[in-house]
Structure 1
């Protein structure tokens, strides 16, 4: 029977992570699985717990939102440790990309019985962060500022927090000039953002890169050009369905490696946690993390 170590972010989702884990933990233990629980006091601490648990041959569960999920998943990338998720955060975008169920019984069944499947991870390199590995996406521009505002919001949760953060960010944003180098080919871009996506989702369910897959070995690069603010607000609404990619103001590329630069002080972020200023280099690490999930298109 499987042996799990659950690493909990006690502040995730308005402090609901522990309550979410309790419901799943009971089902795991009733099935005969072993489960130990560790509470992290920082992302660095969570990564350290995860690495040590993996070295003991345990399956590591991230309990919380995209920050702890991306942090722990990145820390385990390349180690062979099997990774599982118990979504309990504000956004849960990587869990959404894996189509993980909210129902505790259905989630416990996946953790107990699903075969690990390799997913891609994303290596982020800059002068500030050296090398960091995340799971979901790297975004440079207005969305990095929006994410910062959303994380500072205490009265709103989920999509409402990200939408409010987006409105605040767009109001103050001025289009930036980017130089984007995708697999050695240089592109100039003036606009709102450049997103390198491993997952279709960011910002609590917004389909920024609807064609992205966590196992295709590619980054899906979405660039939103300079446009009137009223059109950008329309684009924000279209992110709910992913139809924004059909607009002429949106360009989509695919690459394995991406370099984003700007003469302007453009902020970038990754999985809701990493925050810095361009330039940044992003690389896909194909099939670098075994994860417990059931793809919708699996036979």
Structure 2
């Protein structure tokens, strides 16, 4: 029987994380599994707790949203440790890409009996992040600005906070001139954003990279070009299904390493955390992390 260490989100979502864990924990213990809970004081502390538990051969449960999932997954990347997710955040996009069930009983079944599968992780390098490792995507532009507004929202949660943040970001955005280098080839780009995606989802269920897979050893690089705001909002609506990829303003490249820079100070985010500006380099680490999950969900479909 597996032994679990649950690391609970240290942010304001701690109460939601504790509630989500409680529903799953009862089922794990009823099945005979051992479960210990660690409440971290910060994201760095959460990473330390995860490494220590993984070194003891325990399955580490990241309890919270994409920020703590990415932080703990990054800490376990390359160590041979096993990650499980108990989604309890604003977006839960990596859990969505892995097709994790929302029902506590079904999720407990995955954690108890699922086979650990290798997934890719993403190494992020910049002036702020000497070598951070995340799970989902790196994005630089109006979406990162919207994410920053959403993270600061005290009144709205989930998709509503991202929608409101997006409106605020687009209202003040002017097209940036990017230099996007994919596996050594430069692609000039003027527009709204560049997304280097390992997982197909971001922004609370938006299928930004419909064909991205977490286990193919590649990043899907989504470029959204400059367009009138009216058309941009229509394009954003298409993100719910992934239909935006058919618009001429969208280009998708693929590669193992992506460097993004711009003509001005542009924020970038990684797994829901926005705390730095360009330039940034994202490099895929193939099969670097073992995760408990079901059949991957095709991006653009709803859980």
When normalised by structure 1's length, the TM-score is 0.97
Paired residue for 2:75? 75
| C-alpha contact (below 8 Å) 2:10/2:42 kept by paired residues | no
Deviation at 1:15, TM superposition (A): 2.5
Q: Distance in 2 between matches of 1:101 and 1:295?
A: 10
Paired residue for 1:37? 37
Paired residue for 1:292? 292
Deviation at 1:196, TM superposition (A): 0.2
Paired residue for 2:179? 179
Structure 1 pair 26–206 and aligned structure 2 pair: CA distance change class (3 A): same
Secondary structure in structure 2 of the residue aligned to 1:207: coil
1:244 aligns with 2:258: no
Q: How does 1:102-251 map to 2 (within 5 A)?
A: 102-251=102-251
Secondary structure in structure 2 of the residue aligned to 1:202: coil
Secondary structure in structure 1 of the residue aligned to 2:131: strand
* Total equivalences in the alignment: 297
- Alpha-carbon RMSD across the aligned residues, in angstroms, is 1.1
Q: Deviations over 1:136-168 (max 9, x none)?
A: 000011111000000011111111110110010
Q: Distance in 2 between matches of 1:132 and 1:138?
A: 11
Secondary structure in structure 2 of the residue aligned to 1:206: coil
| C-alpha contact (below 8 Å) 2:5/2:36 kept by paired residues | yes
Structure 1 pair 230–175 and aligned structure 2 pair: CA distance change class (3 A): same
When normalised by structure 2's length, the TM-score is 0.96
Secondary structure in structure 1 of the residue aligned to 2:5: strand
Deviation at 1:11, TM superposition (A): 3.8
| C-alpha contact (below 8 Å) 2:181/2:258 kept by paired residues | yes
- Find runs of 4+ consecutive structure 1 residues off by over 6 angstroms: none
Q: Distance in 1 between matches of 2:24 and 2:96?
A: 18
Q: Distance in 2 between matches of 1:264 and 1:247?
A: 26
1:2 aligns with 2:31: no
Secondary structure in structure 2 of the residue aligned to 1:15: helix
Gaps of 5+ in 1: none
Structure 1 pair 34–164 and aligned structure 2 pair: CA distance change class (3 A): same
Deviation at 1:176, TM superposition (A): 0.3
Q: Distance in 2 between matches of 1:63 and 1:284?
A: 24
Q: Distance in 1 between matches of 2:31 and 2:128?
A: 45
Q: Deviations over 1:172-191 (max 9, x none)?
A: 11100001110111110000
Q: Distance in 1 between matches of 2:265 and 2:151?
A: 21
